Structure 1
Amino acid sequence: MSSSFVPPVERRLLGIGLALAAYFMFTGIDSSAKWLGLVGIPALQIVFLRYVIHLGLVATVHLPRHGWAMAQSQDIRLQFFRALALLGATGCNFLALQYLPLTVTGSIAFTAPLFISALSIPMLGETVGWRRWTAIGVGFIGVLVIVRPGTDAFHPAALLCLFAAFSTAFYMLLTRKVSAHDSAATSQFYVGIFATALLAPFVPFIWVWPSTVDGWITFFTVGIFGFIGHQLITMASGFAPASVLAPFAYFQIIFLAASSWLIFNQPPDLWLYVGAPIVVGSGLYIWLRERANARPSPPVIAPR
């Protein structure tokens, strides 16, 4: 009898539902961050809010259950670099959101699986064959279609999105390493504490209080959405394997397009309809190759 456990279909459906809810929450993070930027809140302050509220919620939810054992990591150094990678991804993404539509930043963010495949060579010692290298190259052609460098449509903030995707890939690979010995609660705690500590000395010099009701609402939702999203994706992983959940992350493109259109009146342009499927198709092909080779599926989730 095989020792591997296959979750029942209904549990997989629950996992997929939780994952979709998580991607909706991650869309809420980006939407809140963009709104705060529009009402005059500095990008650095928005990043700080995302993590300090996240840290407060992690302490409220997990501290009574785990106590200070939550802070016990077997590799603090790895947790620090993991938190730093996510902080870099969040900072670059939030800054880019002040200049680009949600659909553009979101589409470029889904190049993370391409970076993961490339980085898995030096970081995990994996071998990447010509098929995956081809998929990586095709994926970046899709990015070129979206951002159109050399034309009037190009904005340098697109480079921030690419760096955010690279940082996300680095974060996900480090997450794969720390998950072998640290709990999800511990990892969430260190993401919050390190980011808060690194930003706290600088934020008082640029702090701006919201001046509108909608500004005050998004002032808090940027952190709440982040915490709930990470909780939901952790729960989803308990009901369905990553190989099942991975493709559903691309539904976030739909959520982002709806938010961009309905909230910010920025509908997708023609080139996004051409480039985004190329990026998504490349990521899905890499996922299929990983599954065929019985390797862990590269996460396509774009954490914030």
Structure 2
Amino acid sequence: MSAPFAPPQEHRLLGIGLALAAYFMFTGIDSSAKWLGLVGISAVQIVFLRYAIHLALVATVHLPRHGRVMIRTGSLKLQFFRALALLGSTVCNFVAVQYLPLTVTGAIAFTVPLLICALSVPFLGETVGWRRWTAIGVGFIGVLVIVRPGTNAFHPASLLSLLGAVSTAAYMLLTRRVSAFDSPATSQFYVGIFATVVLLPIVIFFWSWPTTPDGWIAFFAVGIFGFLGHQLITMASGLAPATVLAPFSYFQIIFMALSSWLIFAQPPDFWLYVGAPIVILSGLYIWLRERSLAKPAPSVVVPH
């Protein structure tokens, strides 16, 4: 006798649970990258590890099941630009976390739904009304509250973090395009192989081995967290629509705050409590507005 079919509500609850687990993994990526920087590993090597280990895991898990089908793509050009956008996001973020608390880089990352909405005009030819443009503007006021340009609290790495968010938004829009003809396994393969091949001839000049047990743990964790995060968010997307999952991406700020506070002794400051809600509420407004217009929901915050 076949197992009873779970009702849609159960599927959605499982999808939400998997999405929350994915956001925990994404926090693990940034935490591992920050820790590796503290123990003396170069940013170039950290980025290489994130993708090389990810690629090895993708090949191990998916290649036996999919074979050559995994490397067939409907558009090598789009996969190239998609991989380039994600690599740019990772480089910017991994450098930024060496200078900024995870809570700050995490809050800036929540501008991604705002940027996706703005970039959907040139990328997808969509029309964005005045209400959503207002929400985008208000969201970036929240960013200004967080980074406080012109004050002693401002660090130039904040601009790098924002550039990383722009790259992430471009990556998500390109992902929306390639998902029409390529499987998640194929897309994961191309982001891994592109970054690994590009960085391999460069990383040999920056390579160093960890000298402490915690360094070795972070050495492997940065790639493992990336792979698991991608897998979990892909599974979650198959169980619940983006309109359901999108708001839960903001739970990642809780994971970021806990990691920043408990691991790196960098608790959130007062202005983060003021600015982050502005950014988050702006993103949620865009989500509600696009849901009312029956348009695709702004994508969740993406792994680096």
- TM-based fold match above 0.5: yes
Per-residue Cα deviation, 1:5-57 (whole angstroms, up to 9, x for no partner): x9611110000000000000000000000000000000110000000000000
Query: 2-side partners of 1:197 and 1:56: how far apart?
Result: 13
Deviates more, 1:176-185 or 1:113-122: 113-122
In 1, the alpha carbon distance for the partners of 2:175 and 2:146 equals: 29
Aligned to 1:186: 186
* Residue in 2 that maps onto 1:39: 39
8 Å CA contact 1:7, 1:240 repeated in 2: no
Gaps of 5+ in 2: 1-5
- Secondary structure, aligned partner of 2:201: coil
Alignment-derived partner of residue 3 in structure 1: none
Q: In the TM superposition, what whole-angstrom CA distance separates every residue of 1:195-243 from its partner, at most 9, and x where no partner exists? A: 1011111000010110100000100000000000000000001110010
One-letter amino acid of the counterpart of residue 108, structure 1: I
Q: Match for residue 261 of structure 2?
A: 261
1:172 paired with 2:143, answer: no
Other-structure match for 2:3: none
- Whole-angstrom CA distance in 1 between matches of 2:169 and 2:136: 13
Query: 8 Å contact 1:283–1:300 — kept in the other structure?
Result: no
Displacement of 1:68 in angstroms is 1.3
What do residues 102-143 of structure 1 show as CA deviations (whole Å, max 9, x unaligned)? 000000011011111111001111000000000000000000
**What is the TM-score when the length of structure 1 is the normalising length?**
0.97
How many positions carry a matched residue from both structures? 299
Query: What is the distance in 1 between the residues matched to 2:165 and 2:141?
Result: 15
Give the AA of the match of 1:153.
Answer: A
What is the TM-score when the length of structure 2 is the normalising length?
0.97
Q: CA RMSD in A?
A: 0.9
Q: How far 1:300 sits from its partner (Å)? A: 2.6
- Give me the whole-angstrom Cα distance separating, in 2, the residues matched to 1:66 and 1:93: 32
Structure 1 residue 225 corresponds to structure 2 residue 225: yes
Which sections of structure 1, spanning at least 5 residues, go unmatched? 1-5
Matches within 5 A, 1:229-248: 229-248=229-248
Cα distance per residue 1:155-202 (max 9 Å; x no partner): 000000100000000000000000000000000000000010111110
Pairs within 5 Å for 1:34-183: 34-183=34-183
CA distance in 1, matches of 2:72, 2:10: 35
Could you tell me the percent identity over the aligned residues? 78
Q: Give yes or no for contact 1:7–1:239 (8 Å, CA) kept in 2.
A: no
Cα distance in 1 for partners of 2:108, 2:301 equals 12
